[in-house]
Amino acid sequence: FRLGKILRQVTTFFFRSVYQKPPQFHFRYRFSTTPPPPTTTTTSTPEPPASSCRDCSCGERNEDLRVVGGTETDVNAYPWTTRLIYHNSYGCGSSLINDRYVITAAHCAQGFMWFMFRVKFGEHNRCEYKKDEYPMIRYITRMYVNNFTITHLTHDLALLKLNKPVQYSHRVRPVCLPKPSHYEDSLFVGTMATVAGWGAMSEGGNWSCTLREAQLPVLSNYECKNTKYNESKIQEGHLCAGYPNTAHVDGCTGDSGGPLIAENKDHAYDLIGVVSFGYGCARKGFPGVYTRITKYLDWIKEHTDDACYLIVIGEEIEYTTDDPYLPVDTEDFTAEPDGFDNMNNERYRCNCRCGERNEAPRITDGVETAVNEFPWVARLSYFNTFYCGGTLINDRYVMTAAHCVKGLMWFIIKVTLGEHNRCNKTYKPETRFVVEVVARNFTYTTFKDDIALLKLNDWVGVGDTIKPICLPHSDEKDYVGVKAIAAGWGSTNEKGNHSCVLLDVELPVLSNKECKNTKYDSEMIDSAMLCAGFPAEGKKDTCQGDSGGPLTAEREDKRYELLGVVSWGIGCGRLGYPGVYTRVTKFLYWIRHNSRKGCFCAD
């Protein structure tokens, strides 16, 4: 290396990646000053046979500071975000774009030995792995590096081919590649984009253990050239995003190669940029600079035509193995795929859509309830914004889903009771604040134990508009075939707004065996879960905003008891995907023990 020349370069710009250990791989000093050929390809090990396409599509989003001024993401919120490890040291981010390739910055790959790279998938906390949260690992068999030079800082893009296809799951899914038709133009100017990574939380600061995100507005290249950057540094293949006047959020060291994403018209997430370079971190006048993906779609297509792309067009999932932009007939993909992973002999199965974030569910095709028809239904707000439901079980405790409280500041949660029309500001319902949260050990990896109890700051007076639900008498009943009722203020369809009035929907309870035979991965359905819905028809279901709300059924004495807590599901009212609830009978002792300071009504 001509170290003197390189040092002069990095005193002006430093890249957002650095391999922490061993010191000799300090990334900012690893670049060659000799321009590489247009495409560099390295390979050696035999490749496994090509896989068949899985029943999935690219880019579903599942949801503090790396990313300078950002916030911690929910666990596996961005299931396409991956970490590149070189000789046991983390240095860059990357994004899964199909079953065989991740995309990253060229400066993260150029000059390195491809066979020493590992890619980690499905990771949130890189410093500590809990049970069932160990990441998936793949190695690299080939690298395609674009015509990147440190002199001009252009074409900073690379594709890494994995040693075997990835198996999609809730934790691991690809991001979508952009289609200009999703936007008024392909420049994305004014679009609110999201950057995510494990990089430094401040300039010169420590790297984040957990994945963090920040929202940034996309700037025009004209605006970017009028910042403090040298105008010649901003080229057509660059995309700038950030707040040059305030510089309160930005990417930083360690975020290189990671994704800049934007929500498209189908409510999926497209990869619009790859973290490239910047002067400092969150410095005024210096927004982050990214490689503009739309300028390289043909190059990406050319070098990944042996992979399986899955994309979303409108409401339909389209599949293609040789063209990531043009849909093909999907009839051949309705049967179980014949492809095997020769490395572990497991069938590829995946249930997902591209670019969707993992979110909580709501009521689809329900009807408005009578006013206070279900007097136990509670509404949870965070910073005065409605986000989840709950159920009053005695005069001091409300039950909800654990994922509705995980990572939140409990003292900001407000509980509203005795309400029907949440948009009617003239009616003043009962409100309480939370003074204690007791939650099970829930994780987004398995969705198990999705239940929590909220202790209220004051007891609740029981009357006509507010009454607690009954708990089941025993844990022996499975309720199969019972007509249950879910209620909530959630969205009325998968892309709709939350309801102003309380809605309810009647759903039959399925056996867990039936539920495992739907389109869900059978391993995801646990004995402590309960499924309800119409998998053969779809339409009726819970949806976003209904999480934590009740699934109840009428007993022989005409009272209602709580069977389940709205937990999760894929989409809302989709064929083959019934709603999944936490089975209350599996937690009866835990519920009564942890809510014993409240007064239960006689049941």
Which are the catalytic amino acids? 107, 156, 256
CB 570 within 8 A of CB 591: no
Tokens representing 169 are 């799951």
Task: Please list the alpha-helical segments (H only) found in 201-353.
Answer: 221-225, 297-303
Integer Cα distance of 599 and 234 in angstroms: 66
Integer Cα distance of 407 and 362 in angstroms: 21
Integer Cα distance of 105 and 539 in angstroms: 43
Integer Cα distance of 404 and 174 in angstroms: 26
3-class SS at 470?
strand
Ramachandran area for residue 351 (φ above 0: left; ψ -120 to 50: alpha; else beta):
beta
Query: Measuring CA to CA, which residue among 157, 154, 112, 493 is closest to residue 299?
Result: 157
Query: Measuring CA to CA, which residue among 49, 22, 333, 309 is closest to residue 164?
Result: 49
CB 294 within 8 A of CB 260: no
Half-sphere exposure of 125 (CA within 13 A, CB side): 12
Query: Measuring CA to CA, which residue among 408, 388, 406, 407 is closest to residue 398?
Result: 388
Task: Please list the alpha-helical segments (H only) found in 401-478.
Answer: none
Would you give the DSSP letter of residue 349? -
124 to each of 78, 133, 173, 445, 451, how far by Cα in Å? 9, 9, 14, 10, 21
Task: Please list the alpha-helical segments (H only) found in 142-225.
Answer: 221-225
CB 496 within 8 A of CB 478: no
Which residues, listed in sequence order, are joined to residue 413 by a DSSP beta bridge?
A: 382
Omega of the bond prior to 22 within 30 degrees of 0, cis? yes
Query: Rounded to 5 degrees, what angle do the CA atoms 177, 194, 244 make?
Result: 120
Query: Measuring CA to CA, which residue among 212, 62, 213, 209 is closest to residue 128?
Result: 209
Integer Cα distance of 558 and 307 in angstroms: 57
Query: Rounded to 5 degrees, what angle do the CA atoms 423, 424, 427 make?
Result: 135
- DSSP string for 93-106: EEEE-SSSEEEE-G
CB 418 within 8 A of CB 430: yes
Cβ neighbours of 273 (radius 10 Å):
28
Would you give the DSSP letter of residue 135? P
Would you give the DSSP letter of residue 172? -
Query: Measuring CA to CA, which residue among 184, 107, 201 is closest to residue 149?
Result: 107
- Amino acid 320 reads T
Integer Cα distance of 177 and 354 in angstroms: 9
